[in-house]
Amino acid sequence: MLFTLYICLLWLSTSGLWTIQAKDPDTDMSMRNPHRHLAPNNVDFAFTLYKHLVASAPGKNVFISPVSISTALAMLSLGARGYTREQLLQGLGFNLTEMSEAEIHQGFRHLHHLLRESNTTLEMTMGNAMFLDRSLELLESFLADTKHYYELEALNADFQDWAGASRQINEYIKNKTQGKIVDLFSEQDSSAMLILINYIFFKGSWAHSFNLESTREDNFYVNETTTVKVSMMFQSSTIKYLNDSVLPCQLVQLDYTGNETVFFVLPVKGKMDTVIAMLSRDTIQRWSKSLTNSLVDLYIPKFSISGGYDLGGIMGDMGIADLLNNRTHFSGITQEALPKVSKVVHKATLQLDERGLESAARTQVHQNSAPEPLTIRFDRPFVVMIFDDFTWSSLFLGKVVNPT
């Protein structure tokens, strides 16, 4: 079972702003594959952001939900004005001369619906919530637009009593994520007057499960001097496999029930940075065409990985500097003044185990006449990438340096 929880938080402190009302485009988006309308922009942004985060944390785990970050920032743009709005959308990879703001927001609305509704075999909860101080009031236009396109839920909280407000927010997130995220905020004082939360709860199953009885304690080599013990899962079956002739890595692709698929990429020792630097839409497309069904003895650790980031500095490096400096204008959110966005925080958690819909009896016994299976052991740092195959959305990107 793959189990993933994601929380993206945008903190805003005090200011005044101007709104755009995005109107639905007149064109029929079905003429342009609406289920993949935003995919090129979102995936390009995903890899750009991922590479920034990896570069800023050498030797450490990285894990994000790019499509959720894109959704939150696109929604925030509805409350921005002038150059700030353009910065947000252009920073997400959109060319406003080729795609109108209305098309962008309508595209996110359609994407959100597809990710939430299309996979009846998965358990998925997605949503947006904004908590604002009782002294603030959202502009009707912003509330209408964000509710229409992003299904935003607006709630009041008493931020003068941060202990009470934090408990209220924690309880809300706990309920929305079925108790999987608790105590998201501490009861320490906060100067926030408005908090935007974008969340996704995902629970899926492997199409072909790992053998529960075959999981064993094994070594994972973090680097030349550090070795840790992990629970190593095992599966012996026909798997999509590639020993890449272009990049120094091997990879496998495993499917979940529904539309989700995952790439596990194992770089040659010392070549992690080389592989990550070349990750792109073109690389994923080439891999998808080059993978072949092969008999594989596959070893992958059973692990949980979390990542938490203040994206403000990273957004600045990517051309969205207005999120942090004093020139930021978000006068389209509340009737009162809010000077700037003070923090952009993202948190994601992934838990990986053996379970799937098919029995572990899928594990094969190799006959003498059968070809010898390939063996691939993810017992050193690797890359994990989870995509929605129908929409081509980059749900999660991770670099696993230490799975313990």
* In the predicted structure, residue 107 carries a pLDDT above the cut 50: yes
Q: Please name the amino acid found at residue 351.
A: Q
CATH number at residue 85: 3.30.497.10
| pLDDT range class, residue 362, cuts 50, 70, 90 | very low
pLDDT value, residue 3? 40
280 and 150 co-located in one domain: no
pLDDT digits (tens, 9 = 90+) for 183-238: 777 767 677 788 888 777 777 789 888 989 999 999 999 999 999 999 999 999 99
Top pLDDT among 259 and 312 is at: 259
Q: Is 9 inside a domain boundary?
A: no
Which of 16-30, 48-62, 161-175 has the least mean pLDDT?
A: 16-30
Top pLDDT among 223 and 350 is at: 223
Top pLDDT among 196 and 158 is at: 158
* In the predicted structure, residue 7 carries a pLDDT above the cut 80: no
CATH number at residue 283: 2.30.39.10
Query: Using H for helix, E for strand and C for coil, what is the string for the chain?
Result: CEEEEEEEEEEEEEECCCCCCCCCCCCCHHHHCHHHCCHHHHHHHHHHHHHHHHHHCCCCCEEECHHHHHHHHHHHHCCCCHHHHHHHHHHCCCCCCCCCHHHHHHHHHHHHHHHHHCCCCCEEEEEEEEEEECCCCECHHHHHHHHHHHCEEEEEECCCCHHHHHHHHHHHHHHHCCCCCCCCCCCCCCCCCEEEEEEEEEEECECCCCCHHHCEEEEEECCCCCEEEEEEEEEEEEEEEEECCCCCEEEEEEEECCCEEEEEEEECCCCHHHHHHCCCHHHHHHHHHHCEEEEEEEEEEEEEEEEEEECHHHHHHCCCHHHCCCCCCCCCCECCCEEEEEEEEEEEEEEECCCECCCHHHCCCCCCCCCCCEEEECCCCEEEEEEECCCCEEEEEEEECCCC
124 and 265 co-located in one domain: no
* In the predicted structure, residue 280 carries a pLDDT above the cut 60: yes
246 and 321 co-located in one domain: no
Nearest residue to 301 via CA among 343, 351, 339, 340: 351
242 and 372 co-located in one domain: yes
Strand partners, 152: 128
Q: Is 7 inside a domain boundary?
A: no
73 and 151 co-located in one domain: yes
296 and 310 co-located in one domain: no
Mean pLDDT highest for which of 14-18, 74-78, 261-265?
Answer: 261-265
pTM: 0.86
Question: What domain count does the chain have?
Answer: 2
* In the predicted structure, residue 146 carries a pLDDT above the cut 70: yes
Which of 35-39, 136-140, 148-152, 356-360 has the least mean pLDDT?
A: 356-360
142 and 222 co-located in one domain: no
**What integer is the mean pLDDT of 278-298?**
97
Q: Is 4 inside a domain boundary?
A: no
Top pLDDT among 288 and 315 is at: 288
Measured CA distances, 227 to 60, 148, 224, 381, 400 (Å): 15, 50, 8, 11, 14
pLDDT value, residue 306? 79
How does the average pLDDT of the chain come out, rounded? 83
Buried b (16+ CB within 10 A) or exposed e, 275-303: bbeebeeebbeebeeebeebbbbbbbbeb
Residue with tokens 């979102």: 42
Q: What percent of the chain has a predicted confidence (pLDDT) above 90? A: 49
Q: Is 312 inside a domain boundary?
A: yes
pLDDT value, residue 358? 45
Top pLDDT among 319 and 354 is at: 354
pLDDT value, residue 185? 79
What domain range is 132 assigned to?
A: 38-204+305-351
379 and 231 co-located in one domain: yes
157 and 245 co-located in one domain: no
Top pLDDT among 369 and 94 is at: 94
pLDDT value, residue 360? 38
| pLDDT range class, residue 317, cuts 50, 70, 90 | confident
